[in-house]
Chain A
């Protein structure tokens, strides 16, 4: 039974299809794993074992009755706690939404349920997805299964750690500046931020509306592809949702061929700012690609110098507006600062008590970026930088089919290392942010271990908007090439979790 948790989602799907195992057994195995390890890892903010088993039993019943089943039916999954679920609290990692149970499901959640995937629980995140380490979760951080003293990445550290610690084969994350990709890199897992609009944002607690995307998290490329295929698609409730389908990512992941593809190395995302092992593994992967018939070219994106600045103007501005709704009136926390307080004072006291320091910082910064007299210099200017970044990508993609970079400058740092230095924390996202600004898709997949600390390193792939399939094609190939070199999967290098 414990072997079930080591299987990939596609392997589990096949066992389920062949009725060699039931969804209830698979779900139970993962719930037992959580009982053993989640005390230490703290991936979950809320677990729903009963609901998951009920869903699993229903899938088993349908399968036995001969109903037609979705490809991943019966495979359990964890969902980041910024997606609305009617049967579990949705807190966005914040005190201001403690215990709030939505009266509606996010579109992605509806799709998971329709596909027959039992939902194991809601995973931890930096509060309102603002952060790179889950240290800003109001409910305590999640821990990196590779080293429990280190961050699992953020904001989606719960989703990355839940699959890295084998508590779930799959998870849903969201990515606004790297919140799927950075955790993937530091936990040796795979995560994709799809093209903006490829996956519905309806029911996803908004951080920065023009940057947010929901995406798949898993331990290998094919699983990630299968999951993206489930959750992607047009949604009439999301006006920014792409009208067309982007095709099958799973098909792309199975191609395993990069011959003739042009791989662009982004000059600005290499060099001194990157940890030695990170750069070394990156170069090795370039060699693997070249050896398989891909052409490596250098591209330059000079506007990336301003990407972080633009991001930390656009995000706080949009967030300051998106978070205005947390005002004690219709849901969430209400704090009464003394008798006969006016509603204005109740709102201010509620938000003071309910929001953590990073959220407050960004709201105030965002209010500033939009305020009268400052708009042109800040938010307005950032929107123009976004144009430049899109132009740089367009130029780069005229020379290359896929762009590559290390996902992050470093491996997982220790808790406390950057939490008091916002600027240092923001620099984690230097490689991931441009894709969000431009709306293009990006994937991080495992790229080996850094020799100086033995910790996972990620490689980032980027493709033009709507060309997500290219990520899976190159990613699938690279993963297989790595496994051939290493002799095992990346995740098999992970140390055994101390069982408490």
Chain B
């Protein structure tokens, strides 16, 4: 497939106005599926969390998960939405092997929540008020595996296998109104918006919100129009954007791709596109048409959902702190600089640092380890690998340093062993004997041995030329394989020198 030509990004923005729209699917963490009592659980043997309802055997009927409805209402309230006073489910009819009934039970013109908004801050510091069109309840499809083609792709596959464990898992689809005025920051805004949604649903406790697990999925709609034009341009919808980084890259790519076509007199095909992380590009999928005839009609097997005012108010009262408010509070408590704080947010490490502080670490220490060594290790690892370390362990590490039991260099070594699964930092220090040597006797012996090789150092120190001390300290550290407390070595050295 030939790679598409792209217009330079800045040029594209000069010529065109960017409009984006985001559809985010949130997988709820209910115990059971949306319409049946099968477990909502990841990682089991195929087709073991299924029943007549979710594999659509003849005669089966759906029954609505109460918790899923409450979770959906909570999401709507957290997004400032109105809650639908009476709403019916609807059937969205289309054929696909991962859709057992060949229709999806969803909501059409009566979504559970509608007309909300969310303030989203982009890296530059600007705050956009993203308008939410609706949030509605629906169910997930099963999982298809394609066998026989290249790298598990559909093209060239000989056959496909279907696992319905995921079929029927509750989803909430959140749809924004078209977002105007993002300009050059449209890609960042898209990623920041999805990040905010993640924070919200995580804070609500209604989803595990792990993008790498597919708990939060984003489809990005992008269209361009000439500055000042009234009509919206033709949009494409890019699917398969599995991380915040991909969202940013995909939006940026589509802007450049569409700009090139339009600037050369072409037209944009309204279609679904797929993002390819490895290639950094999108490719055309099915032609998308709003006339995809889904033949929606009210689901006759389910009765309307009419949340009472009491229920809505009690759910509203149970809402946790808004992410924006939480951030303000944490920024104040931790006393980071504005830039430091924003970096933490952009690196998606807010939760980790909060938990590490909660486990007893000082905020700056937590930030140092997560943004420093751990970030470095994560970057070097394969995208999507989870680091095998908990906030509590990081806090323990920081405390060991604070207590003087280990120094920074040893801490890095200990961290490596923690990641390798050897245990907690304290256990490792003990097991591997990595404590900083604080036995003065041993240190003095090492200092004297080093001095024996560098006889000029003591006279130099006596004369106040402290740089000379560094040579001895370095030698001692080397001799003790880094497990000496450098500050203590320096103190002892000076004492010896001044004897």
Contact = CB atoms under 8 A, between A and B. Distances in A.
Interface of A: 82-84, 90, 92, 97, 100, 102-104, 106, 201-206, 208-210, 236-240, 317-318, 320-321, 324-327, 329-331, 343-344, 347, 367, 370-372, 375, 379
Interface stretch (B220-228, B235-243, B291-299, B393-401): B291-299
B295 A84 contact: no
B433 interface: no
Sorting the interface of chain B by its residue count into under 10, 10 to 19, 20 to 34 or 35 or more gives 20 to 34
Contacts of B56: 325, 330
A201 B95 contact: no
Contact of B301 (A82, A239, A379): A239
A181 to B, nearest CB: 21
Contacts of A329: 97, 100, 162
Interface in B121-140: none
A325 B105 CA distance: 13
Nearest to A383: B298
Contacts of A370: 93, 295-297
Contacts of A344: 95
Contacts of B93: 320-321, 324, 370
Given A103-B57, A372-B295, A236 B100 contact: no
Interface stretch (B58-66, B377-385, B409-417): B58-66
B59 A206 contact: yes
A-B residue pairs, 4 tightest by C-beta: A324-B102, A370-B295, A209-B300, A210-B300
Interface in B274-324: 291, 293, 295-297, 300-303
Interface of B is mostly: loop
Interface string B91-106: 1010101001111000
A324 B101 contact: yes
A371 B91 CA distance: 13
Contacts of B295: 320-321, 367, 370-372, 375
Contacts of A321: 91, 93, 103, 295, 297
Given A239-B302, A324-B95, A102 B59 contact: yes
A330 B301 CA distance: 22
6 contacts: A100-B58, A202-B61, A239-B302, A240-B303, A317-B297, A329-B97
B303 A239 contact: yes
B10 to A, nearest CB: 41
B24 interface: no
B55 interface: yes
Interface of B: 52, 55-64, 91, 93, 95, 97, 100-103, 160, 162, 291, 293, 295-297, 300-303
A239 B62 contact: yes
A251 to B, nearest CB: 30
Contacts of A206: 58-59, 61, 301
A82 B58 CA distance: 9
A102 B64 CA distance: 23
Nearest to B62: A239
A238 B95 contact: no
A131 to B, nearest CB: 18
A327 B95 contact: yes
A186 to B, nearest CB: 27
A370 to B, nearest CB: 4
B300 A347 contact: no
B101 A84 contact: no
A206 B58 CA distance: 7
Nearest to A344: B95
Contact of A347 (B52, B58, B95): B95
A57 to B, nearest CB: 29
A246 B95 CA distance: 40
Contact of B57 (A82, A330, A343): A330
Given A100-B58, A202-B61, 18 more contacts: A84-B58, A90-B58, A103-B52, A103-B57, A203-B60, A204-B59, A238-B61, A239-B63, A239-B301, A239-B302, A240-B302, A320-B93, A324-B102, A325-B100, A329-B100, A343-B160, A375-B297, A379-B297
B297 A372 contact: no
Nearest to B299: A209
A189 B492 CA distance: 110
Contacts of B57: 84, 102-104, 330-331
Contacts of B63: 236-237, 239
Contacts of B301: 206, 209, 239-240
Given A84-B58, A205-B59, A325-B56, A372 B291 contact: yes
B61 A325 contact: no
B300 A318 contact: yes
A92 B58 contact: yes
Contacts of B303: 239-240
Contacts of A90: 58-59
A97 B57 CA distance: 11
A202 B36 CA distance: 13
Chain B CB count within 10 A is highest, among A103, A202, A321, for A321
A83 B58 CA distance: 9
A203 B60 CA distance: 5
A203 B61 CA distance: 8
Contacts of B64: 239
B58 A205 contact: yes
B290 to A, nearest CB: 9
Contacts of A375: 295-297
Contact of B58 (A240, A331, A343): A331
Contacts of B60: 202-203
A375 B52 CA distance: 30
B298 to A, nearest CB: 8
Nearest to A84: B59
A435 to B, nearest CB: 17
A436 B100 CA distance: 28
Contacts of A97: 58
Nearest to A100: B58
Nearest to B51: A104
Given A239-B64, A329-B97, A372 B293 contact: yes
B71 to A, nearest CB: 19
Contact of B61 (A208, A237, A343, A379): A237
Nearest to A206: B59
A203 B59 CA distance: 4
Contacts of A204: 59
Contacts of A320: 93, 295
Nearest to A236: B63
Contacts of A103: 52, 57
Given A370-B295, A379-B297, A325 B101 contact: yes
A187 B223 CA distance: 66
Contacts of A367: 295
Contacts of B61: 201-202, 206, 237-239
A4 B19 CA distance: 79
Contacts of A371: 293, 295
A372 B295 CA distance: 6
Contacts of A325: 56, 58, 100-102
Chain B CB count within 10 A is highest, among A102, A201, A237, for A237
Contacts of A326: 58
B103 A343 contact: no
